[in-house]
Structures are given as C-alpha cells and as structure tokens.
Amino acid sequence: MRARPSDYELVIPHTLPAVLSLLAQEPGVWLPIAGGTDVMVQYAAGKLDRRKLVSIWNLPELRRIDVFAAEIQIGAGCTYTDLSEHEVVNREFTLLSRAARWTGGIANQNRGTIGGNIVNASPAADSLPALLVYEAELLLVSARGERRVPYTEFHIDYRKTQIAPDELIRAICLKRRFPEYYAHARKVGARNAQAIAKVCLAALGRLADGVVEDIRLAMGSVAPVPLRLTGTERIVKGNRIDSWLVQLARTTATAEVQPIDDIRSSARYRAAVAGNLVAEYLEQLERCRNET
C-alpha cells in the first residue's frame, strides 16, 4: 500500500552538528535520508517503518573529497557522479569509479551516495566489493565523537552493520598504495545500468618474480554480506599462476561463497560464476605479467 505523506515528518538541519544532535536526542527514531534512492523506494511502497526523517543531502561536511599524501577521504554524502568525475578516484581507485558508473542510471548516480550505499548494506551493491579490496576504513561520527572502523569488519550479517543508532558515516578513507596492482571488476547481470548484479567481482593483485605477492578478491550477491574471499586468497598467495592453481582457486571460490536462490539468479549459477570470475582474473593477472 502507498505511504501517506501526512504520516511522515522530514526536517533539514543544514549542518552536521545539528543532525548529530538530533540523532543523539532520540537514537533510532530519526532515519537519515540523503539522495533517497533507497529510502524513497521503501517509502513509496509503504514499507518504511520509521516516520521521522532527517535530510543529510548536500551537507557540505559530507560532500567533499579530501586528498592527502597517504590516503583520500571521501565524504559519505558524495554521489556516484562525484566519484566517477573525481580525478584521483578515477586514476588510483578504478574499481570504485567503475562501480560508480555501473550503479543505477545517470539520475540515480546523481543522487545515490556512497555512504547511503554502505549503510543500506545490500549484499548486491556494486561498489562495496571495491571498498573491501581497498581495505577502506570508515570514519563514524556522532555527538559522542568520532571513531575509525575497518570496513572489512563493518557488515555483521544480512543488512546488519556496526553503526550505532546515533552515528553517521562521515567519510570513507582509502590508502593510496595500489599503483602497482592489477585491478579488475566484473559485473554479471542482465545489463549494467539499472540492474542489480547476479554476481559482481572486485579484484586486486600484484606479482613479484612470477609469484602472487598479494591478492584481494571480493564479491557481491554471493553471501548475506559483501564477501571478501579470504580462503581463496590464501590458496593463491605466494604461488605461481598455472592451470593447476587456477583450477584450485576456481573450486575454492565456488565452495567459499554462500549464495541463495532469488528473483535474479540461482545459488548454483552464482557459485559457478563466482569460481569462473576468479579463474578469469587469475588468467588475466598472469597474462599481464607476460605482456610487461
């Protein structure tokens, strides 16, 4: 059933401290809304439980990207368009800028925010595997202060995260140390725009003397949370890529994911594709060594 607008309250405090003070006064009562690309969908469908909303759209404190020598800090209110048009994100964090261009269509990229995507915590979100392999850190802010949380530990279970009811994500921090890595992203879905992935992969790897020195693999739509494939990484790391290792990585990844049957795909298909995507990445990583 459609929602009745008269049942809902929305306020726009215009500064971050004012938003945090409101969240602190009544924790869990106020739902932050940024570009509305998730919240308004639930609202329109009459499925939004909370009746009080606080707008954080376009808060200047959240809509900036700060570039430091060692890391960049992406404000949680930055849109996908902000990300895909940013020079440093495009040059050094290609997995993120590519995922930004795969998310929704242009109108959703103009309104959907990276922070909103993280707290919405969909296991199918395109950009979250990229944040896992870059080992992002989140700056969580509340009236009580600020804390830094490793993104790899942020998602606890299906749509459950470490964020407290009075907290917002202020920024996403990415270390600038991946220039030597071979980055690869793949989305398997009905189409890139406006389609949620059946499976998506973000991968980073680096070879030294023909041996895999470092590898990071993360996938969406294959588990209750965006999943880092640490078991598969362990199998691959420190070894040379040959057909035997590719096959072992494929079977390990297929077993490591925990997909479900749903409207978009089946668990069996997803597990097979997960294995194939890992194999495809390793073959590319090996090929790029031979080409350089």
Q: Give the footprint of other proteins on this chain (CB under 8 A).
A: 3-6, 8-12, 33, 35-37, 40-41, 43-45, 53, 55, 57, 81, 101, 104-108, 110-111, 191-194
Using the minimum distance from each CB to other proteins, give the nearer residue, 61 or 214: 61
- Work out how close the CB of 179 gets to other proteins at its nearest, in angstroms, rounded to a whole number: 27
Using the minimum distance from each CB to other proteins, give the nearer residue, 34 or 72: 34
- Work out how close the CB of 52 gets to other proteins at its nearest, in angstroms, rounded to a whole number: 10
Q: How far apart are CA 217 and CA 202, in angstroms?
A: 6
DSSP-assigned letter for residue 113: B
* Residue spans of alpha helices (H) in the chain: 16-25, 39-44, 80-84, 87-92, 94-102, 106-111, 114-120, 128-133, 230-236, 243-256, 267-291
- Work out how close the CB of 249 gets to other proteins at its nearest, in angstroms, rounded to a whole number: 33
- Work out how close the CB of 111 gets to other proteins at its nearest, in angstroms, rounded to a whole number: 6
Using the minimum distance from each CB to other proteins, give the nearer residue, 39 or 274: 39
Using the minimum distance from each CB to other proteins, give the nearer residue, 47 or 177: 47
- Work out how close the CB of 102 gets to other proteins at its nearest, in angstroms, rounded to a whole number: 10
Q: How far apart are CA 97 and CA 93, in angstroms?
A: 7
Using the minimum distance from each CB to other proteins, give the nearer residue, 110 or 251: 110
Torsion of the alpha carbons at 48, 114, 174 and 210, rounded to the nearest 10? 100
Q: How far apart are CA 28 and CA 103, in angstroms?
A: 28
